[in-house]
Chain A
């Protein structure tokens, strides 16, 4: 299973963190510091895997962002790489040419999308289309809510239509 997902910028700034295994705030900070040091210092030609505390960290760099996932030692690294890519493609499809800025300002959106792709540390949806559909459904609801945020019954009516 996936223990956590990290998005780190090339400068070592955290763009998104999602923890599927319990880590305290202190541990989280430590993990991020440790891993970003290790990952950012690796050369481009080296392999995209790190063995770390009995687990494996698979990372991939997209422009200025590093996407990292920490998986169990017996998980398939190539598959994890593709899960990362799958997530990136969905982000790309949603934001339309996703860039780091999208994630900086809409990190909560990225979280919602991630929640549709991964759940409880496992890949839950392998179809890009259906992720897009759910997110769109939530968005229309939200757009709608913005317009009529006072009228709760309308929202429910809209959602259950």
Chain B
């Protein structure tokens, strides 16, 4: 085929090899020869094109175009421009716009031209408007009327032109205006019109699925259209519909299979052949749909086996023949389908065969497709990769950037603990070569993910992260930096203090070295400052003054970066207080003195605050400072009591005074939609409320008055008196007014709300849970016994609760995780998808995503692996084939010979455990990870966080707790999304509640406040959820309904 195409093209582009000037010299000849349809060849236009073609430089071209724009502007606005002239102007506008200049002054004329009665002008108008306008342009509304009229035209060409415009221009708001007419056109006698109408409906479906829901059956009918092009248009739409809702279309499986069979058997008219392949584009579309339908459905998949074999056989080239591009396109699509459905071994064998042929091909295109296909095949059969290691390595070393990236994608899929270092190393060196932000972000995300999942040691993890920070800098999400800090502060998650402190001091060393480099991204500096502040002096090798000097240097080198400065001053504060706490005299070195003085006068209140705090700390006594900023304080957990039981009294009294109960957002919205007819009876349901309406408004009916304005005003004073903090009261206002919308009629619902929201805490409200925070156990117990909040206690949360309570008892944690691992291992090798899913939900379900046997290697084996791996890595570059192949085994080996040992020995070093916390995505309000986060970044947070404890005890003693609870409430309510900023804001916005205010009480009561419970050990990362979902869908499967209406028997007659 390739050669065939070349012949055509050589012939066709006979001028191609000459340069433009030469080409333009032939223009006259070309034109005199009368290239057909040169109806637009006015002198001016030709001159323009010619001038632009001859332009020597970009600047010259620019000048010509600008002159043209000026010219057109003047001419187009003249009154009474003849139609033909106007059409030419419009085409010239298109030309100008195509060259990248703004022609918006002429848009309105293009729109006007669509109103023209002359079909010629109309089509030019439509062409120009579709090229000029996006669907959200203001002028669209002017064109809707014309389109409506044209859709009714009895000239099918007019209708076609209008439909083409519909596909591009009609947006969500204007769909209702044309929808009925487009649907009518499905019955048009001309197949071109029907086809375009289907495509228009498809476009509507993409824009606004809700407005199309009543038309789903239409698409099924169109599938039986007697014209193949209409049928293929319907396939486009059906593909989208099926991917949105697979279950609803299961019963069409047999129909699609039979269509594919007929197409493959060459039953369509010859006109649909493409290079002697019968309707390949239709075949590919069908294969895509089948892939969707067969995924996770054994029964549906079985129906497809024979047709897939047929298609492959028909397209498989003879031996030694590379096959044409189009047959290979079909074959590739077959691989995609086979790997997506539940295929049998025969099909998988075929897919593997085709894949190897692609990989062995000389063409880069086929290699690329082969790598992609290999990635799909090994997800089912990991052993297959081994055979092709060499090809994969070739592609990895190839000079073609696209191919290289694709191969890295493949490696990413194949990563496991044994090869993670090699692969991440490759990725990092690739990242070095990149310059554009998008690619960098993508590869950085991948590296981070792999590192978090498979890191063999914390040391390696930190080093890799540093490299990523260094290379990708601010493209890395801040969360990753926080995770890194958390890892350092928590250590390996075991009681091995020695290992932890080793890790920390090695981190300190590495950052001290890094800081010597001239230009570092802000995020890396933040991490470095934090680490130096927290652990800089911990192991005693570094003198406090040295570290402080370094920190001052950092801050000095980045005068514009307030965040880094904030981290630096906080770190200095920590070091000073550690010194004071250790009973040593602290004398700030001069440069630090001047840095602090700078900050004291800073414009940023945050920095100012921190500087003042440092000064206060310097003046405090040793034991007090020890309490406030304990050494390694960020490793401790913070307890959040989200139920705010100490506010119960206030709430009760407010309720007693007639305030409305709080409904949480979901309930509010749920009730709201239910009540929408109530609130505004004139508004119709199925239309977006702000959408344009094209029918007349119905006569207004008397709406039920909601009285939302009156009630809150009577309510609010209550709140504002007692709640001094402004934002708080604003929130209350909105809450109550929203609830009020429902009006007093919903008394029953209101009661529900009371129980739902406040029921749980009411238990703890009676006896205020004095000096100690409510233990999770207790709280849970009360929640269950109340039985009201079953909603909140959804089952996935259960295990987490378990872990809390067990972590409460300290060492129990260690026992929990191995047990989970045992289950993971067992379920992985048991092979049942159900177990897999459930265990994945609890623990590192990520692992399960890597196909079958890919399990963590024995824990003890890990430390030795990395060394071997990196050694081999060097061999690669030496390009000694023999050694290379052995190392390739290492890289590509997917055979599941690594078993997960059932381990309980304390000494064994478990990277996974250390990383568990990292997998956690700080979820929203529900989880309290953010607490840990904010804490680890900002030590002052701890003051607020411990405030509740203080205040609770204080309140039980003195009954006076007006200010502090508020402070706590804010910091508690400050959700994790805010992270550090949350901490910062606290400092900014609550200057009156200085952290030091609570010190006196803290000093007294901190001894009585019990250690906080663990919170952030287990978080459900989204990957786990997706896995669970996947497993669930696989498990559920769907049995297609049996009898299929024989839709297609008469299809191709």
Contact = CB atoms under 8 A, between A and B. Distances in A.
Q: Say if A and B assemble together.
A: yes
Interface of A: 9, 11, 14, 16-20, 22-25, 28-29, 32, 45-51, 53-54, 62-65, 76-79, 81-83, 85-86, 88-89, 92, 95-102, 104-109, 111-112, 115, 119-120, 122-130, 134, 137-139, 141-143, 145-146, 149, 152, 155-156, 159-160
B157 A78 contact: no
B160 A134 contact: yes
Nearest to A127: B271
A78 B16 contact: no
Interface of B: 5, 8-17, 20, 23, 26-27, 30-31, 35-41, 46, 49, 53, 83-84, 91, 94-95, 97-100, 102, 104, 117-120, 123-124, 127, 130-131, 134-136, 154-158, 160, 164, 167-168, 191-192, 195-196, 199-200, 202-203, 228-229, 232-233, 236, 269, 271-272, 274, 279-282, 284, 325-326, 328-329, 332-333, 336, 363-365, 367-369, 399-400, 402-403, 405-406, 438-439, 442
Contacts of A138: 123, 157
Contact of A62 (B9, B40, B168, B333): B9
Contacts of A28: 100
Contact of A106 (B35, B100, B229, B326): B35
Given A78-B369, A86-B274, A145-B119, A46 B400 contact: yes
Contact of A101 (B23, B91, B154, B400): B23
B37 A25 contact: no
Given A82-B326, A122-B236, A124-B199, A108 B91 contact: yes
Given A76-B333, A122-B236, A156-B155, A142 B12 contact: no
Contacts of A86: 274
Contacts of A51: 402, 405-406, 439
A23 to B, nearest CB: 8
B119 A141 contact: yes
Contacts of A14: 98-100
B23 A119 contact: no
Which one of A63, A89, A104, A119 has the greatest number of beta carbons of chain B within 10 Å? Answer: A119
B167 A120 contact: yes
A95 to B, nearest CB: 7
Contacts of B135: 22
B167 A126 contact: no
Contacts of B336: 76
B134 A22 contact: yes
B23 A100 contact: yes
A2 to B, nearest CB: 11
A92 B12 contact: yes
B365 A32 contact: no
B102 to A, nearest CB: 6
Contacts of A149: 83-84, 118, 120
Contact of A99 (B12, B160, B229, B439): B12
Contacts of A85: 5, 325
B438 A54 contact: yes
Given A25-B104, A108-B127, 17 more contacts: A16-B98, A19-B131, A25-B100, A76-B333, A79-B280, A89-B8, A98-B13, A105-B35, A106-B37, A124-B233, A125-B229, A126-B274, A127-B229, A129-B271, A134-B160, A143-B39, A159-B156
Given A81-B365, A126-B272, A160-B154, A142 B164 contact: no
Contacts of A47: 363-365, 367-368, 400, 402-403
A146 B13 CA distance: 30
A19 to B, nearest CB: 8
Contact of B202 (A115, A120, A129): A120
Contacts of B363: 47
Contact of A111 (B83, B127, B232, B332): B127
B192 A134 contact: yes
A100 B403 contact: no
